[in-house]
Amino acid sequence: MANEFAERVAAIAADRSHGSAEIARLCLALLADAAERAHARDATELQTCLQRLAATLIASRPSMTAVLRLVSLWLDRCLHSPLPELHDQREAASRAARALIEESRAATRGAARLAARQLETCRTLLTYSYSSTVREAIDLLPAEVHVMFSEGRPLNEGYRLAEALAKSRRKATLVTDAQLGSLLQRADAVLVGADSVLTDGSLVNKAGTLLIAATAAHFGVPFYACCESYKLRTADMPEPILERMSPGELGAPEWPGIAIENVYFDITPPALISACITEAGPRVFPATVMPILHAPDVPAPARPAWIRHVYSAVRRGDSCTMAIVASGSATTIAATTISSQPSSL
């Protein structure tokens, strides 16, 4: 039994095909099974076993806040109020894990619905990597919406999205990762998932997301992240570790003196994110300078006046000078416009 659980933990640590919400739910399913079947002589021994397994699962995917939050929440619900009888403790721990799986699925569905509503005026959508939340949002978009995405090297998780879209007969275009910059010029919006959202609004996601967000900013294309709120990091959590995977995944030869790195995640600053859409609604972080699509039946997140000022100037082709003044813990940003000059944003 211990070997089985160890093998499942190793599979979760090595998983490259599922999104972080799915991986968090796999962790909870493992905890539910362990609660029901792990060897223990009494309730106290079971609690110790489950706490140890939970810590191992959290450490296995340090970039994924959903794993940390959901597993920690499970610990709070079922182990901090221990039951004296072994059978009762098993049942309570398993029930709590399976309830959280359903809560996570409901949150994903809610975030997907709101993302689809926010993007309903979009006709060409670009996405990147594979996110179960983004996939659900795409399924809810009108049939005429064209989806563009890339392979997602090194392990090509974009192929999983391609398979899902082909089954649903969705019109889509698959390209190499290197073509995404050019493809962005044809997109009405970008929608990506999230492995973590930091307290300042920064987005931890598949490496390459930062380049896409920066290019979207250059072309004035709205850039959205979509995820369940369990992926929002809180101030008491440590900074996530950006996971490094085997350099062998790149398939490159070994050359003397050449270091090969395979960092799976990068961090996109909030200034490049139009909004982060969760089941609770769109969230705009103060630093954003990105445009926002306005769906007719969804209240668009309010943008500060200086952002509206800058973007109206950009649309007119004027240049903008932004002065950033920090005052204590707050930052005030003012914009002035000089007419009849080339845009210099």
Active site residues: 195
Give start and end residues of each alpha helix (H) in the chain: 2-14, 20-37, 43-60, 65-78, 86-118, 132-140, 158-167, 180-183, 209-219, 305-316
- Answer yes or no: are the C-beta atoms of 277 and 225 closer than 8 Å: yes
CA-to-CA distance for 83 and 78, rounded, in angstroms?
A: 9
Q: How far is CA 137 from CA 30, 85, 104, 215, 341, in A?
A: 27, 44, 16, 23, 40
Cβ neighbors of 108 (< 8 A, separation 6 or more) are 21, 132, 133, 136, 228, 279
Closest CA to 128 of 162, 105, 100, 94: 162
Q: How far is CA 41 from CA 4, 44, 97, 283, in A?
A: 19, 8, 21, 48
Omega of the bond prior to 154 within 30 degrees of 0, cis?
Answer: yes
CA-to-CA distance for 335 and 313, rounded, in angstroms?
A: 10
Which backbone phi and psi does 317 adopt, to 5 degrees? Answer: 85, 15
Instruction: Determine what percent of the chain falls in helix, strand and coil, rounding each to the nearest 5.
Output: 45, 15, 35
The two tokens of residue 110 are 């809610």
Closest CA to 289 of 208, 194, 222: 222
Helix orientation angle between 2-14 and 20-37, rounded to the nearest 10 degrees = 180
CA-to-CA distance for 183 and 286, rounded, in angstroms?
A: 28
* Helix, strand or coil, per DSSP, at residue 331: strand
The H-or-E segment that residue 125 falls in is: strand 124-126
